[in-house]
Amino acid sequence: MNTQQSQGANCCPKFDPSPWDGKIIEWDKKKFIKDHTFTFLYMPLRFGALMKKLVGKVEKAGANMAGQLCLSDHTSKWNMDVYLAVDKEIPDAENVTLSGKFLSKVYEGPFQDTGKWCSDFEGYAKGKGLNIRKTYMWYTTCPKCAKVYGKNYTVLLGQVNH
């Protein structure tokens, strides 16, 4: 890791929203490793440490993180499950797959707008005649990189009924 990356100024790749905004994504047993972290009123605690742990497992297995995709499932105000996309099974990790159709929509702005985004996303799905069964969030860049890039994109992915 170079000095610029260790300072958080480009550790995350620049995100292109166009392939994700307003799309239906279909996955058939897409591979992820799953872990969880505690949250305080939905704000993740020790998220960076969790990501280092997951990335370490991926690197140790000689695997790749598929598209830098990392989904968050806020299971309560106090817990969040994290799904990191990988290209193969990872030893010593909880390997899971996701299948189905997912409606995606990209939002940009501060994280405190998450509630507004979720409400908008529900309306957006209903307007398309879709019922969201479960919603995942993809925070595409860390806060430091979002500041460097000048954009803080978050993708909402809703698993929809067929």
- Looking at the domain assignment, is residue 80 inside a domain? yes
Tokens of 112: 């405190």
Instruction: Quote the pLDDT of residue 112.
Output: 85
Q: Is residue 101 part of a domain?
A: yes
* Side chain identity, residue 83: Y
Q: Considering its fold, how many domains does the chain have in total?
A: 1
**Is 7 domain-assigned?**
no
**Would strands 65-74 and 132-139 be described as parallel, antiparallel, or unpaired?**
antiparallel
Give, as one character, the DSSP assignment of residue 151: -
Would the pLDDT of 2 be above 60? no
| Structural domain range at position 91 | 24-160
**Cα(15)–Cα(137) distance, integer angstroms:** 15
Q: How confident is the model at residue 56 (pLDDT cuts 50, 70, 90)?
A: very high
Which residue from 108, 104, 160, 158 is spatially nearest to 136, judged by alpha carbons?
A: 158
CATH number for position 104: 3.20.80.10
Q: Does residue 11 sit within a domain?
A: no
Question: Within a domain: residue 9?
Answer: no
Which helix (H) or strand (E) is 106 found in, with range? strand 94-108
Residue 129 lies in a domain: yes
Pick from 113, 110, 111, 134: nearest CA to 122: 134
* Tens-place pLDDT, residues 72-92: 999 998 999 999 999 999 999
- In-domain check, residue 18: no
Dump pLDDT digits (tens) for 5-38. 334 456 888 999 999 999 999 999 999 999 999 9
